[in-house]
Amino acid sequence: MIIVLKSGATEEDIQKVVDKLKEYNYGAHISRGENKVVIGAIGEKRMEEKILIMEQISSFPFVEQVIPILTPYKLVKKEFNPQGTRIKVNQVEIGNEEIVVMAGPCAVESREQLREIAGFVKEVGAKVLRGGVFKPRTSPYSFQGLGIEGLKLLYEVKNEFDIPVITEVMDPRDLDIVAEYVDIIQIGARNMQNFTLLKEVGKLRKPVLLKRGLSATLEEFLFAAEYILLGGNSEVILCERGIRTFSDFSRNTLDLSIIPALKEKTHLPVFVDPSHGTGNYRYVPSMAKAAIAAGADGLIIEVHPHPERALSDGPQSLTFSDFRRLMNELKAIASAVGRRL
């Protein structure tokens, strides 16, 4: 159930609700908004017990509303945080009216490459630098990333250019060291249902960008996010990156229709990855603009100074001139839908 406290409820009031929930072996997840506090009660009870608990909690004078949850996912549900989740990463806030763009190479290749890209993407308005160091490649013969060396380069460039960084983690054993070096953890599409990894990420107090699996339904996507929130980490960004269909003209089918559905059902910020969603740099700008028009809170885009030399995903990477043009065009789209870039 969701318990909404009245404006002005004190910490003592909050504790009274938590204590009452504990009497019935319910877990309590507290979300503090600008004006109100919302408490999510997690637990399985028979209907008659649930009604009794709801009646008792409703009797508190500082409780405004108690809402039963009928959907199988509870913490990602819109009602848990009606105002929407906002995630602060250094000076960047994700989930407000500003569109946040994350940009950079698919793979970190060298210090020189990363410095060149970081300086450029920040100059034209990107707020976060992306760069892969552990690369989940379809072929075992493809470039697998620089690993720990790449993490150190990301950290070095992050400090030099004062820009937050995001990278993907695939193995729970790498989580601690990755968390030391980067600001946002990315869970890739192939690991969306790696439940061991999701549980471990849930223990972190660091933002997570969770990509939709290649064939995941909306409910499966939200359940994956629920794993992370249930572990105590509420800073989750959902990312649509394309699903596998019978389409043969693009790498994946970018399902932009999921954006309004996610915005309707969940309080979490929603991003789109048009690079992986299309697999072709020619289509990336159009789909990026369409994503913002559809309500996305941000984008994650691959950029490389020389895509023809890239060690990973060159065909879907934008050149510097293409990315600069796109960022200028996105400003007009954002303004048209009441947002800003």
Report how far apart the first and last C-alpha atoms of the chain are (Å, whole number). Answer: 36
The pLDDT assigned to 299 comes to 98
Give residues with Cβ within 8 angstroms of 101, minimum separation 6: 125, 126, 127, 128, 298, 299, 300, 301, 327, 330, 341
Region 188-208: mean pLDDT is 95
Whether residue 30 has pLDDT greater than 90: no
Region 210-216: mean pLDDT is 96
Mean pLDDT is lowest, of 9-18, 36-45, 73-82, for: 36-45
Q: What is the DSSP string of 91-115?
A: TEEESSSB-EEEEE-SB---HHHHH
The C-alpha atoms of residue 41 and residue 2 are separated, in whole angstroms, by 6
If you ran DSSP here, which 8-state letter would residue 339 be given?
Answer: -
What would the pLDDT profile of 66-122 be if each residue is shown by its tens digit?
988 777 788 899 888 888 999 999 999 999 999 999 999 999 999 999 999 999 999
3-class secondary structure per residue, 119-149: HHHHHCCCCEEECECCCCCCCCCCCCCCCHH
Q: Are strands 208-211 and 184-187 parallel, antiparallel or unpaired?
A: parallel
Query: How many other C-beta atoms are found inside a 10 Å radius of the C-beta of residue 60?
Result: 17
Environment class of 293 (CB within 10 Å of its CB; exposed 0-12, middle 13-18, buried 19+): middle
pLDDT confidence tier of residue 45, bands split at 50, 70 and 90: low
- φ, ψ (nearest 5 deg) of residue 301: -130, 140
Q: In the chain, what percentage of residues exceed pLDDT 70? A: 98
Check: CB of residue 291 under 8 Å from CB of residue 99. no
Whether residue 47 has pLDDT greater than 70: no
